């Protein structure tokens, strides 16, 4: 299996998660502050190279009709920019409910409400990546 990097793109922050070398477990890695698509894409490609990832997954949101939402279209443009910056394959993956799932996971492990505030982007990226990994390992 291979190490996979996952991205949860947002307007202010970009969550980043990484799989274990066996491609079974996803873990939160970091949050990148959004600057511009080109700079963000270069940073993502750099992180993928540093972490020896062999695939990059970018979370993409869809609307109720199953079409990319405005945020999903931005994700597709970011994925294209990452492809331009890296030789790695870049795949879009449905990120539906990843932030809500991350929030619920924090509640489930009894993280106090005060500590749940703020950025869930890296945890949402972890949810996206784990969803992708689970689909491969079925």
pTM of the complete model? 0.85
pLDDT tens, N- to C-terminus, the chain (138 residues) = 689 999 999 889 999 999 999 989 999 999 999 999 999 999 999 999 999 999 999 999 888 888 899 999 999 999 999 999 999 999 999 886 555 655 655 555 555 666 545 556 778 899 899 989 988 876
Residues 7, 120: contact at Cβ < 8 Å? no
In order of their start, the domains of the chain are: 4-136 (3.30.420.140)
Residues 90-129: tens digit of each pLDDT: 999 988 655 565 565 555 555 566 654 555 677 889 989 9
């Amino acid at each position: 299996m291979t190490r996979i990097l996952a991205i949860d793109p947002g307007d202010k922050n970009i969550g980043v998660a990484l799989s274990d070398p066996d491609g079974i477990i996803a873990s939160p890695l970091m949050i990148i502050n959004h600057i511009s698509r080109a700079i963000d894409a270069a940073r993502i490609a750099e992180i993928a190279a540093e972490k020896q990832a062999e695939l990059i997954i970018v979370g993409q949101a869809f609307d109720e009709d199953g079409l990319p939402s405005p945020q999903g279209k931005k994700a597709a443009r970011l994925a294209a920019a990452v492809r331009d910056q890296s030789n790695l394959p870049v795949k879009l993956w449905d990120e539906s409910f990843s932030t809500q799932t991350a929030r619920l996971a924090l509640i489930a492990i009894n993280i106090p409400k005060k500590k749940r505030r703020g950025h869930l982007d890296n945890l949402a990226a972890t949810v996206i990546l784990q969803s992708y990994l689970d689909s491969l390992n079925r």
